Amino acid sequence: MMMRKLLLLTLIITLVGCKKQPTNSTFFTGFFPNSKDSLVVLYANDTPIDTTFLNKDKNFTFSLNIKESKLYNFEIGGKYQYVFLEPLDSLVVYANTLRFEESISFSGKGSAINNFLLSQLSNIDIQSDELKKYHSLPPITYKEKIDSILIIKKKECDNFIKNHPYLSEKAKNIALVSSIFPLYKEIEIYPFIYQDKNKNLTNHLLPSDFYNYRKQIDYNNSFLEYYRPYYSYMVMYVNNLAFTKYTHNNSTLVDLNRELGFHLEKIKIIDSLFNKGSLRDNLYRNAAYAYIFNIQEHAQYQDYFDKFAKYNKDNEHKAELDKVFKNVIALQAGQIPPDFDLIDTKGSLTKFSAIQKPEVTIYYFWSVNQRELSNLIFNRIAQLKSLFPNVKFVGIDIGQDKNQWRKRISENQWTDQYHSINFMDLSQKFLINNINKSVIIDKNGRIISAFEDIFSPNLEKILLYKAS
């Protein structure tokens, strides 16, 4: 994300000004009538390649010289949307930015495939919710249900292609992927959920043709490597292969996400299946973060880091991941926690190191911008305070509005409260991927645990042992 922002800043400086529109161009234009943001950014994969601004009539235009079909995405006001463009297309997008997902639509040359992709992506969340109902079904029944849905989705895609005979092969391919890969992903998820629900090892129960669709998949399609349905499937495919291998070798029911062996299997699987390139690098990046955010205590972290490094000497995310691994080491039990800037309730600037307590202390996070979740966190803190009166509790707001934070804390009885003024710095140092995170510090200012969820029952076990 930081690299994307730096690239974007450079691009804006370079491109602002008049742009000549060459002949034989591909045009991508749009109209966002009520947008408060004027900057529109066009990305190829994860890299910004062009920028423009809405004019006084809320219109924008990109003129591109492309020789082959390409998948882009554009951003306005923090909203992202895929755009499939082919040479000489003249595509127009419209969206009410206050209701972006519900209102967006395409017209002009190239609109048919883009509206189809849009309809498929918008159905993913609805479809996923519906499919969750099938997770408790036995494997044979589940496969029958999924196969019937696949038939419908394939027919829908076939009809679309039949009605648009001019579509290129890449357009047909991405249309098919948008239709059926979300279902393939659900099939890969099923063994995890079924085993968890039924407390029974799953793999020996699956029919022999359960994964037959895998034979038809191109696992190294560089054109689709940044397309969400394709990439999300690949993530779950790797997870499921590691799940199958690990449960076969261990034959016991465990929480796989907490097992080092499961994460080590993923490293080997990615290497065996994916060629060098962005897809492989992104899958390794995903695997690394899955390890970091699921293994609560990293006693064996060096084993994982060493094996990961063996396969990732040229990974495009190496600098980022090296920094993350370094931060993991800095958060181990017994270490002095990293420092970061805060504001106290009087508005004075202070640092985390300056607010340490002479007692065992839980530092918990919340956000004035996430009221419902924050209320659950406050209720949890009240529960813990009653159970452990000798433990101190300190809240740190990671929301964006310090004035709203001051107003909120003035309305209630609180523990000690502070506001983070640089969440990016804080989140990187403490590896915060959600606000449920807590950090437990002992009376000497050293880490007891920096990886515990505030709602985890294991928190009580730690406090019983450390605060007694």
DSSP 97-133: GGGHHHH-EEEEETHHHHHHHHHHHHHHHHHHHHHGG
Residue 244: inside a domain, yes or no?
Answer: yes
Residue 203: inside a domain, yes or no?
Answer: yes
| CATH assignment at residue 30 | 2.60.40
Q: How many domains does the chain have?
A: 4
Span 416-445, pLDDT tens digits: 999 999 999 999 999 998 889 999 999 999
Domain check: are 317 and 352 in the same one?
Answer: no
Span 141-196, pLDDT tens digits: 999 999 999 999 999 999 999 999 999 999 999 999 999 999 999 999 998 887 76
Domain check: are 347 and 437 in the same one?
Answer: yes
pLDDT band for 297, please (50, 70, 90 cuts): low
Which domain, by its residues, includes 88? 26-108
Residue 444: inside a domain, yes or no?
Answer: yes
pLDDT band for 13, please (50, 70, 90 cuts): very low
Residue 129: inside a domain, yes or no?
Answer: yes
Span 104-119, pLDDT tens digits: 999 999 999 999 999 9
Domain check: are 99 and 184 in the same one?
Answer: no
Q: Is the pLDDT of residue 1 over 70?
A: no
Domain check: are 345 and 438 in the same one?
Answer: yes
SS3 content of the chain, % helix, strand, coil (to 5): 50, 20, 30
**Dist. CA 33–CA 57, nearest whole Å:** 8
Cross-strand partners of 43 = 48, 73
Domain check: are 158 and 139 in the same one?
Answer: yes
Mean pLDDT across 339-365:
94
Domain check: are 209 and 170 in the same one?
Answer: yes
Q: Where is pLDDT greater, at 360 or 301?
A: 360
Picking from 217, 248, 282, the residue at the C-terminal end of a domain is: 217
Residue 116: inside a domain, yes or no?
Answer: yes
Residue 351 to residues 111, 355, 418, 432, 441, Cα–Cα distance (Å): 53, 7, 10, 18, 15
Mean pLDDT across 125-148:
88
State the Rg of the chain over Cα: 25
Q: Is the pLDDT of residue 260 over 80?
A: yes
Q: Is the pLDDT of residue 251 over 70?
A: no
Domain check: are 122 and 205 in the same one?
Answer: yes
Mean pLDDT across 306-332:
92
Residue 386: inside a domain, yes or no?
Answer: yes
Backbone φ and ψ of 114, nearest 5° = -70, -40
Whether residue 384 contacts residue 457, with contact meaning beta carbons closer than 8 Å, is answered with no
Average pLDDT over the chain, rounded to an integer: 89
| CATH assignment at residue 401 | 3.40.30.10
Domain check: are 387 and 349 in the same one?
Answer: yes
What is the four-CA torsion angle of 247, 249, 254, 260, rounded to 10 degrees? -110
Picking from 86, 108, 130, the residue at the C-terminal end of a domain is: 108
Mean pLDDT across 256-271:
90
pLDDT above 90 as % of the chain: 68
Residue 21: inside a domain, yes or no?
Answer: no
Span 72-106, pLDDT tens digits: 999 999 899 999 999 999 999 999 988 998 999 99
**Dist. CA 205–CA 467, nearest whole Å:** 46
Domain check: are 169 and 208 in the same one?
Answer: yes
Which tokens belong to 269?
């699987």
Span 14-59, pLDDT tens digits: 444 444 545 689 999 999 998 989 999 999 998 999 999 999 999 9
Whether residue 214 contacts residue 185, with contact meaning beta carbons closer than 8 Å, is answered with no
Domain check: are 77 and 56 in the same one?
Answer: yes
**Dist. CA 369–CA 399, nearest whole Å:** 6
pLDDT band for 293, please (50, 70, 90 cuts): confident
Picking from 156, 182, 217, the residue at the C-terminal end of a domain is: 217
Residue 137: inside a domain, yes or no?
Answer: yes
DSSP 144-209: HHHHHHHHHHHHHHHHHHHH-TT--HHHHHHHHHHHHHHHHHHHHHHHHHHHHHHTS--GGGS-TT
Domain check: are 85 and 132 in the same one?
Answer: no
Domain check: are 351 and 447 in the same one?
Answer: yes
